[in-house]
Amino acid sequence: MRPDHATPPPPAHRRRAGRDRPHRLWAAALVAALAAVATVAVSLAAPAPARAAGLEEVTGFGSNPGSLRMFRYVPDGLPHDRPLVVALHGCTQSAAEYDDETGWTELADRHGFAVLLPEQRSLNNGNMCFNWFQNTDTSRGSGEALSVVQMMDRMRADTGVDPGRSYVTGLSAGGAMTAVMMAAYPDRFDGGAVVAGIPYRCASSVVDAFGCMNPGSDRSAAQWGDAVRGASSHTGPWPTLSVWHGTSDTTVAPVNQRELVEQWTHVHGTDATADASDTVAGYPHRVHRDAGGEPVVEEYEITGMGHGQPVDPGSGAGQCGRAAPYVLDVGICAAHHIAQFWGIGGGDPGPGPDPEPGDGTAVLGSDDARDGYVKAAADGSSATVGTLEGTLGLAVGRGVDGRHSRTVLSFDTSALPDGATVTGAHLTVARTSGSGDPWADPAGNTLVADVHGGCLGGSCTVAADDWSAPADAPAAARVPRPASGTAESGTFDAAGLAAIDPAGTTQVRLRFAQAPAGTAYVFLGAADRATLTVTYRT
């Protein structure tokens, strides 16, 4: 006979933040797995390959010891050396039911990266769960974990993706498998994101998995960290981690979010006490930094949400995904914020669709030779040019010496076509390090961008007078706090667009609207890590 709950539960997306249905996603999967041990009556036929537009199945990617299927999404015209995102579906799902629903393929088109979507087979697990609880599938060099790595190698051979920019994410059982991939192959991933998942090595059998799911396993941070460190000979650096969980999840208890944070902060040599906290789209968000001040773990607590992946359908800059079973419309798209945390979600757009006739987009890197920062007292007196650009980056905010820094970025906007009319623009910057939180000192502080056509001071080389030189468009846009990686400003206001010089140089000065009272600053990357995206009409 068929295993219990072989039919997927009713869709969870009919409520914005509904509680779990009685037929629980993972409970159904594990009951199915137990039944499969006792009987061979599970259908041996592979699931019908429901294909999304642009989703391609690939065969012949290695020995495939985990007997998985390989699907991929590669935007048309994707150049070599672009990032790779490995996206792992949850139980009862398939690659085609996880790609555009979660927003990952939409973001791949928007920002220019490839997506690898491994898919489970019903022969391996009766309810299509990745076997995150079986040691033979979660150890380096064997089973499903090795199959995923072989798929990554095939992606690199076929598409030329950058082996130094690989990321992994997943929902539910896919989230637990994400923790597996990060632990077993930390040398292959720069970052990961676990949505409603489980820490690495919480369970080593199907029976153990029930307790890990709910009520969860309470272990010390050192015990969790040792499990990761014991999974390979790797000694660092370690992948960063973004953790997402609904507070009303009764399938995978929310305590697993805390345990994941404890596991990976310990691996990074820090603790589980957040160094910064705020709200994003109304939901609590916390950031954990390492000894060097770098964000290494972030967590989102989605209040009132049950078991599933958060999405925010729409066409806005921060929106993505569409509601589906266990893909829940709660007004925030996890994939967007995860991509931002990894540093692949802005400032480096993919090829995208061809523009309409007469329209175009230019992405301009800053001119490193003309970039710099200026330090002064809060009133602008005693200004001097900063000297740490070559080692730490471009400073903004109040330093340990009590002086206030402003950064100047230069862009050669003469690259725009002759006669072009600027119709939109935004700035993308990358945080490299920092101390304190200048966005919260004082509360509600903002990082603003002054835009000027030509050179702010006496020359386009950064000089002391750039600190207070008048700009054509003061505070033309705001730049949000970057939790990690990149941050994208709002669209320049009308004065900011008018200030862009299509025939010469445009300079952007970054400053905090209010002077921090204590040490609170960030260092930003220059050159290709600071970009000005301009849309225009000819």
What are the distances in angstroms from CA 264 to CA 138, 241, 254, 259, 331? 17, 7, 16, 9, 27
Paired residues of 243 in beta bridges: 194, 299
Q: What is the 3-state secondary structure (H, E, C) of 166-196?
A: EEEEEECHHHHHHHHHHHHCHHHCCEEEEEC
Catalytic residues: 172
Q: Kind and range of the H or E element at 248? A: none
Residue type (1 letter), 374 = V
- Cβ proximity of 297 and 263 under 8 Å: no
- Cβ proximity of 432 and 388 under 8 Å: no
Alpha carbon distance 354, 352 (integer Å): 7
Radius of gyration of the chain (CA): 24
Q: Kind and range of the H or E element at 508? A: strand 505-512
| SS3 assignment, position 398 | strand
Q: What are phi and psi of 188, to 5 degrees?
A: -100, -10
Structure tokens at 96: 């085609």
Neighbours of 236 (CB within 10 A): 10
Alpha carbon distance 513, 415 (integer Å): 31
Terminal CA-CA length for the chain: 67
